């Protein structure tokens, strides 16, 4: 990255210390790193972050790793040792942000909690990501993203009525928590600009999911109604469903806007429904959801997917189909918006990875490096702390770094 590029990154000069592994904490720091933050990732010597060995492995490294840890510097350091803890305190004293996703209390036991680090650095912002948060009766329980998705209400709604619930195919609870962690970090930085002081940010996996659950709670509170799983439909918002096409494909049609509904009914040849006053607004349509879905399904079942999509596009009715990874990789819109990026791995092979979000017009983020090797930057970072070569050699011999 050249100097002109560096000036265009909005978080340039921000130093972030990552004390965590796997998904939620590292995903949050990935986002900060894409916009210029210097992210120092602490990993256990010898093994590193377990994510290095998750899902598809090539040349000994997870392909996921090249997304989750881009733009980071890896320091292999034993957090359980006194010497390692002392080095972390030195790093935290110079950091702007610490992001951690250990079980609550773990860092306090190591002398690396908020009370200890904020005394060393009053401007420090410390982000905690955990299953249940830093307080409350469940505080000490272990929690992964899938448990947060269940407790947050999402898992109960996901699936077909009367069948076992299913999980979303990605770690959505972790990723939502990471987004809230980044939002909290930016808010705390803004406050620090005024007060000069840092603060703690407490993000719980289940709360991050629960915050996405729309009207789930007030509907129960007002009427005692428990929202149930509904398959591909969205109860109370009509029509919005998946419909089988000729040949067995599916299309997704969202015709729930009042004017959109009229256009959709015109496309499928049901002007009687388009002009029915009882169906003019969503509340009336939702009472007749099954009838409306049947009418749409009768039309789609006689036509191939591409013809359906073209007809709906022409009528300005939102429609699409479930994309596979292959669909995404070659879609012209993804490509035009630079959401498919390619970088060269250390083995010389190219690899497609997702682009950077959000898109800023004047100070866009960047891909940069595609994930460090374990301990790749240990000497560089410790040298910046003033740790001399002889001391580093002793630490390395003792397995501390």
The ranges assigned to domains in the chain are 3-211+337-397, 240-320
Q: Provide CB contacts within 8 A for 384, sequence distance 6+.
A: none
> What pLDDT score was predicted for residue 7?
59
In CATH terms, the fold of domain 240-320 is formyl-coa transferase, domain 3 (3.30.1540)
CATH number for 3-211+337-397 (one of 3.40.50.10540, 3.10.180.10, 3.30.2010.30, 3.40.190.10): it is: 3.40.50.10540
Q: Provide CB contacts within 8 A for 372, sequence distance 6+.
A: 41, 69, 72, 73, 74
- Distance between CA 279 and CA 285 in Å, rounded? 5
Q: What are phi and psi of 200, to 5 degrees?
A: -90, 150
> What pLDDT score was predicted for residue 4?
41
DSSP state string for 219-283: HHHHH-PPP---TT--TTSSSEEEEEPTTS-EEEEE--SHHHHHHHHHHTT-HHHHT-GGGSSHH
The residue from 174, 258, 306, 369 that is catalytic is 174
> What pLDDT score was predicted for residue 311?
98
Consecutive 10-residue averages of pLDDT for the chain (401 residues) = 59 96 96 98 96 92 94 97 97 98 96 97 98 96 92 94 90 96 98 98 98 96 94 93 96 97 98 97 96 98 98 98 97 97 90 95 91 95 95 95 95
> Which three-class secondary structure state does DSSP give residue 62?
strand
Instruction: Specify whether 283 is catalytic.
Output: no
Quickly list H helices, 268-397: 271-274, 282-287, 289-300, 305-314, 325-330, 332-336, 378-384, 389-397
> What pLDDT score was predicted for residue 2?
41
> Which three-class secondary structure state does DSSP give residue 31?
helix
Quickly list H helices, 2-144: 3-7, 24-34, 65-68, 82-94, 106-109, 114-120
CB 214 within 8 A of CB 154: no
| Count of CB atoms situated within 10 Å of the CB of 313 | 12
| Count of CB atoms situated within 10 Å of the CB of 71 | 26
First vs last C-alpha separation in the chain: 28
């Amino acid at each position: 990255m050249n100097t002109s590029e560096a000036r265009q990154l909005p978080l340039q000069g921000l130093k972030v210390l990552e004390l965590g592994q796997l998904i939620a904490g590292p995903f949050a720091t990935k986002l900060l790193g894409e916009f210029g933050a210097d992210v120092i990732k602490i990993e256990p010597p010898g093994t590193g972050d377990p994510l290095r060995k998750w899902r598809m492995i090539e040349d000994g490294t997870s392909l996921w790793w090249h997304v989750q840890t881009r733009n980071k510097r890896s320091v292999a350091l034993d957090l359980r040792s006194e010497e390692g803890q002392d080095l972390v305190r030195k790093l935290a004293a110079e950091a702007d942000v610490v992001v951690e996703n250990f079980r609550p209390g773990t860092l306090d036991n190591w002398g690396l909690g908020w009370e200890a680090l904020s005394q060393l650095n009053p401007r420090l912002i410390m982000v905690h990501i955990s299953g249940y948060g830093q307080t409350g009766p469940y505080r000490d329980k272990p929690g992964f993203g899938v448990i947060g998705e269940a407790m947050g209400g999402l898992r109960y709604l996901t699936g077909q009525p009367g069948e076992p619930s299913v999980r979303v195919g990605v770690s959505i609870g972790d990723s939502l928590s990471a987004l809230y962690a980044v939002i909290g970090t930016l808010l705390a930085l803004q406050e620090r600009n005024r007060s000069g002081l840092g603060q703690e940010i407490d993000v719980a996996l289940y709360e991050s999911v629960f915050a996405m659950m729309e009207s789930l709670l007030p509907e129960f509170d007002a009427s005692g109604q428990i929202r149930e799983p509904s398959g591909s439909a969205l109860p109370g918002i009509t029509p919005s469903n998946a419909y089988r096409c000729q040949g067995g494909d599916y299309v997704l049609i969202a015709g729930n806007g009042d004017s959109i509904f009229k256009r959709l009914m015109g496309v499928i040849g049901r002007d009687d429904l388009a002009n029915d006053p009882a169906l003019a607004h969503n509340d009336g349509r939702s009472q007749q959801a099954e009838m409306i879905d049947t009418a749409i399904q009768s039309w789609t079942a006689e036509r191939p997917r591409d013809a359906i999509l073209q007809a709906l596009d022409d009528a300005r009715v939102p429609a699409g189909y479930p994309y596979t990874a292959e669909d995404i990789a070659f879609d012209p819109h993804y490509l035009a918006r630079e959401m498919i990026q390619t970088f060269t791995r250390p083995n010389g092979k190219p690899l497609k990875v997702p682009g950077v979000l959000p898109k800023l017009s004047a100070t866009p983020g960047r891909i940069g490096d595609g994930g460090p090797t374990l301990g790749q930057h240990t000497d560089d970072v410790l040298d910046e702390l003033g740790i001399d070569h002889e001391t580093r050699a002793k630490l390395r011999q003792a397995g501390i770094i």
